[in-house]
Each structure stands twice: as C-alpha cells, then as structure tokens.
C-alpha cells in the first residue's frame, strides 16, 4: 500500500501542469489502473516534438487519433500523414460498445462519440486537395540534397538556377528543369559557358539520371502548379476547433524517395514561412508522421542532416512534429534526441535482434523504481503505453505505464460516398485542384529553338546554288579534312592487313 501511495504521489506531482492540458489516460501499477493517477499532456511543450512507437496492432494509430482530437478541441490545427489509409475516420463520430464503456469507467471519463473538422489531402490523383510545389520553391540546395549530388554537381545545379533567374525562365515542374539541363549541355552550351562557366556533359548526365529516378517514383504528380500555401494547414473552423488535415499517402509506401522529398520540402516551407514565436502556451501546428521509417530508410547523410536541422529549429516557430513508427531505432539517434515526448507501445521479442532493440529502447527512458522497463515493454496491452514527456520547465516527467483514453471518432476508414461528400464541401479543393500549365522554361526554350531553326532554314534558302557548291568544295579541300581522310584510310588498311596476317610488328609507344 505504501508503494502504491508513493506511485500515485509521483504521478500527481510529475503530471500536474499549470497551463492548458489534456487528459490522455491513467497510470497503472502492477497491471491495475491507479485511481487519482491521471496523466495529462501539456500543450505548452508539444512543440518539443515526440515519438509514438510500438509493434503492429498495439494501438499507435488510436493514440495519435486521440491526441489529435484533444489538440483540435484546444484550437490547435493538426496534420496527419496517413500512410496506411486508416485515419480518415476521424471525420465521423465513433460508436460505443461495452468494452469502450468499461475502459471509460476505469479511466474516470465519460465516453461521448464526436466528429471533428477534417480536410483530406493527396499528393496523387486520389480524392482530396492536391498538394504541389514548384521546382523553384525547392531551390538548388534542397534539390541537390534530395538528389544526393556531390559538391561539383551541386555547383552546376546552382548555376542552372542562376541561369533561369537571369533569363526569366520559370522552373515549375520537372520537365522545365530537364529541358534547361539539356539546353545547357547542348544547344545553349556556348552561351551558358560564356556567362556562367564550363560544365561537363558527364555532370549534366548524372544530374539528369537522378532527376529521372525521382520521376519514376511519381514526382511529376508533386512538382507543378498551383503551389500549396502552408498557411492553409493552420486553420480554425467557426466553432473554434483546429482543422485536422489528413494527407492520404497510401500509394507512397513503395516510393520512399518521393515521400522523403515531400516531407523535407514541407518542413522547409513551414520553417521559412512561419515567424519566430518563442515559448507559446500551445503550438500553432502539430504534425504526426505515420510510418516515419519511410523518411529515413533511403536518406543520404546530407538529407538526414537537413532533417535534423529543421527538427531542431522548427520548434521555435511553434510547430511540433511526432514520428510514428514500429521500431524506435528506425529514427536516427540525432533526431531521436530532439524528441521530448515518448509514447512506447508494446514491442515483441521474437528474436535476439528484437531483444537487443528492447534493451536499447528501455535505456532511453528515465530510471524508475516502480517498473522493470525492459520486461514491461513486452507485456503492455493494446491501448497501453509507457510514457514520459517534458514539463513546463523542460524536465522529463516520471516514466508511467498508462492506460490511454480511447478516440471519440470512428476507428475505421470513411466510405467512398463519405469521402466524396467531404471533398465536395471543401473550399481548398476548388482552390488547388484545377490543372494549371503556365508558360515556363520548357515552353520558352522550345519556342526559341523552333525560331532559331526557322531562321536557319530561311537563311539556307537565300544562299545561291553556286555558293553552296563552293562551300561543299571548300570543305573537302580543307587540309584538316584531307588529313582526317588519310588517317581513316590508313587505319582501315592496317586493319585489313592485320586480318590477313600481313601487318608489321607493333611497337609499344609511350602515351606521352
């Protein structure tokens, strides 16, 4: 009894926050829910980022759904990256059942189904608001890091962007960039090198191959107009609830390069657009990245460094980022160290590698006399998690085994009819879903080349036939041409003699 009392006092002391907060569950000891041991989440530290981890089927999705509902109630907009396609149900109220009622009773809450304001987004041709960005908005530095270019190639990338700026060639989509790259290495090479320096065809060829690789993952759907304005993610509806923006990216599971490209651009744009806010009572936006390993699994060291930098700095803009993944080791240590809140659902120990991961994971949590952390991680029930977070002073709270509140919204997907209805009523869909193909670098350069070809053809028509004959004769009379002809004849003769066994002895000559 004394240990239980100490436990309750530790939880009450550690999770008693003075500012705006939401109740996310109750702490447990020895497998039982402890009354009066309520666990709260302070909105003030939500911009310190977080991690939600756990094996498949342990309740990660329901946890981020429940937290998103609380943020929306507090007028905080949310962005959910829905990789598995099971978060759209947050737009509809849930349904009650005996299990939910029993859980609500243990947690000291009343379960009341409710729906929330939701906007559906897409990067492809799925139903929803289309998200796009132009190549110019990426800029040479970010695009070079996404493509994994070396310093020389990145320098050429910067030259190409400078050339486009100076010559008023808008880079809107990838076909614009490819056209300029080809032009700089072929028809426009002389003019380009005169003003900006020499570039090798090997370098332009390498960049082109990397751009085509990005295209093959569907990047053409993302690059273009109308460019999305990130301020539209930070809306509050007429009832004072924060909009929950669900980006459905189920078709990107096998295209990690495109997913990383989108994520990095979005984070960079949010950082560039948002003003410095300092310490706020609650964040301006909280982003949940489901299946976060897709960002990191094919990222280069330069890309990882960029992600780490953005994660470090974006919190001063009032924006929080939560990574949701099965294995906490999927997140690089440099990024993991920036995550102030950790919600650890159950992990499974089927192999020696799994046991090693569990041991490493348990060492990332504060020491506690109430639990054996490495053992408890494998014994957590569905909808239970080990939790620690930062208090208002930035100090980690005591580790707590928590039974979490259930979501109030539907724990399933929307039907096709419901999706159609939601998209039809969206003001953003009418704003962004129109196809725009403005005149850009591709069209401008093609027009210039066509004009040059017409002028050349016209000039050829005006040359007298006698001049053409003289020109042809003078060409073959040229001593260099005659020399080349003699050399070619000599090589052919030697080849024939060698084939007949009549060639002379060859001598090794110095290449110098």
Total domain count, the chain: 3
Phi, psi of 55 (to 5 degrees): -70, 165
* Residue at 468 is within a domain: no
176 and 124 in a common domain? no
- Looking at the domain assignment, is residue 393 inside a domain? yes
- 149 and 115 inside one domain: no
The helix-helix angle for 301-314 and 256-273 (nearest 10°) equals 30
DSSP category for residue 393: T
* Same domain for 412 and 495: no
CB atoms within 10 A of CB 483: 10
Is 120 in the same domain as 166?
A: no
Does one domain contain both 9 and 87?
A: yes
Phi, psi of 281 (to 5 degrees): -70, -30
Q: Among positive and negative, which fits the CA dihedral 135, 47, 389, 61?
A: negative
Residue 467 counted as domain residue = no
Q: Tens-of-pLDDT digits for all 512 residues of the chain?
A: 688 999 999 999 999 898 899 999 999 999 999 989 999 999 999 999 999 999 988 999 999 999 999 999 999 999 999 888 888 899 999 999 999 999 999 999 999 999 999 999 988 778 899 888 889 888 898 888 888 899 999 999 999 999 899 988 899 999 999 999 888 888 888 888 888 888 888 898 999 999 998 888 888 888 888 888 999 999 999 999 999 999 988 777 677 777 777 887 888 888 888 999 877 899 999 999 888 887 777 666 767 887 888 888 899 999 999 999 988 888 888 888 889 999 999 998 888 888 888 888 888 888 899 999 999 999 999 999 999 999 888 899 999 999 999 999 998 888 999 999 999 999 898 888 877 777 777 788 888 777 767 766 766 666 666 555 554 444 445 544 444 454 444 444 344 434 434 444 444 343 33
Q: Which of 425, 460, 488 is the last residue of a domain?
A: 425
Question: Would residue 306 count as lying in a domain?
Answer: yes
What DSSP character marks residue 240?
S
Same domain for 178 and 146: yes
Kindly state whether residues 298 and 367 are assigned to the same domain. yes
In a domain? residue 147: yes
Question: Are residues 180 and 75 both part of a single domain?
Answer: no
> Is residue 114 assigned to a domain?
yes
**For the purposes of burial, counting CB atoms within 10 Å of the CB of 374, is it exposed (0-12), middle (13-18) or buried (19 or more)?**
middle
CA distances from 429 to 42, 122, 219, 405, 424 (A): 34, 10, 20, 33, 8
Residues 285 and 330 in one domain: yes
- Give the global pTM: 0.81
Indicate whether 432 belongs to any domain. no
Instruction: For residue 507, tell me if it sits in a domain.
Output: no
Same domain (yes/no): 143, 235: no
DSSP character string of 350-370 = -SHHHHHHHHHHHTTS---SS
| Domain of residue 397, CATH code | 3.40.50.300
Residue 244: beta bridge partners?
78, 118
Q: Which residue has the tokens 């002391």?
A: 13
Shared domain for 275 and 324, answered yes or no, is: yes
Q: Are residues 41 and 110 in the same domain?
A: yes
Provide CB contacts within 8 A for 453, sequence distance 6+.
Answer: none
Domain span at residue 488 reads 474-500
């Amino acid at each position: 009894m004394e240990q239980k009392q100490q436990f309750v006092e530790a939880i009450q002391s550690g999770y008693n926050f003075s500012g705006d907060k939401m109740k996310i569950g109750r702490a447990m000891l020895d497998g039982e829910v402890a009354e009066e041991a309520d666990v709260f989440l302070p909105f003030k530290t939500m911009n310190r980022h977080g991690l939600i981890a756990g094996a498949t089927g342990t309740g990660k999705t329901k946890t981020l759904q429940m937290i998103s509902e609380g943020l929306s109630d507090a007028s905080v907009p949310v962005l959910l990256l829905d990789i598995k396609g099971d978060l759209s149900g947050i737009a509809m109220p849930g349904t009650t059942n005996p299990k939910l009622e029993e859980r609500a009773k243990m947690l000291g809450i009343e379960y009341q189904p409710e729906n929330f304001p939701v906007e559906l987004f897409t990067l492809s041709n799925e139903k929803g608001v289309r998200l796009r960005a132009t190549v110019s908005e990426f800029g040479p530095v970010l695009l070079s890091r996404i493509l994994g270019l070396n310093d020389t190639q990145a320098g050429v990338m910067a030259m190409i962007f400078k050339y486009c700026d100076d010559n008023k060639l808008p880079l809107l989509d990838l076909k614009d960039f490819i056209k300029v790259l080809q032009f700089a290495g072929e028809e426009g090479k002389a003019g380009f090198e005169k003003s900006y320096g020499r570039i090798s065809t090997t370098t332009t060829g390498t960049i082109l191959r990397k751009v085509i690789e990005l295209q093959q993952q569907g990047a053409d759907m993302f690059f273009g107009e109308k460019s999305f304005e990130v301020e539209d993610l930070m809306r509050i509806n007429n009832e004072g609830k924060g909009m929950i923006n669900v980006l459905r990216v189920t078709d990107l599971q096998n295209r990690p390069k495109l997913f990383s490209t989108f994520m990095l651009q979005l984070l960079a744009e949010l950082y560039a657009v948002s003003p410095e806010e300092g310490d706020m009572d609650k964040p301006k936006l909280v982003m949940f990245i489901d299946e976060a390993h897709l960002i990191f699994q094919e990222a280069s060291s330069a890309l990882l460094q960029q992600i780490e930098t953005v994660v470090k700095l974006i919190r001063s803009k009032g924006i929080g980022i939560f990574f949701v993944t099965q294995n906490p080791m999927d997140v690089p240590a440099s990024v993991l160290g920036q995550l102030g809140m950790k919600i650890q659902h159950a992990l499974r120990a089927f192999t020696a590698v799994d046991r090693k991961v569990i041991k490493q994971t348990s060492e990332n949590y504060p020491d506690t006399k109430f639990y054996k952390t490495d053992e408890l991680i494998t014994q957590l029930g569905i909808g239970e998690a080990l939790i620690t977070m930062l208090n208002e002073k930035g100090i980690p709270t005591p580790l707590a085994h928590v039974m979490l509140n259930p979501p109030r919204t539907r724990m399933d997907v929307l039907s096709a009819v419901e999706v159609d209805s939601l998209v039809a009523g969206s003001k953003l869909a009418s704003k962004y879903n129109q196809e725009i193909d403005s005149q850009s670098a591709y069209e401008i350069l093609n027009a210039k080349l066509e004009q040059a070809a017409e002028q050349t053809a016209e000039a050829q028509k005006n040359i007298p036939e006698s001049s053409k004959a003289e020109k042809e004769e003078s060409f073959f009379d040229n001593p260099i041409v005659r020399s080349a002809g003699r050399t070619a004849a000599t090589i052919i003769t030697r080849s024939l003699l060698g084939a007949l066994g009549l060639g002379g002895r060859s001598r090794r000559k110095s290449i110098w």
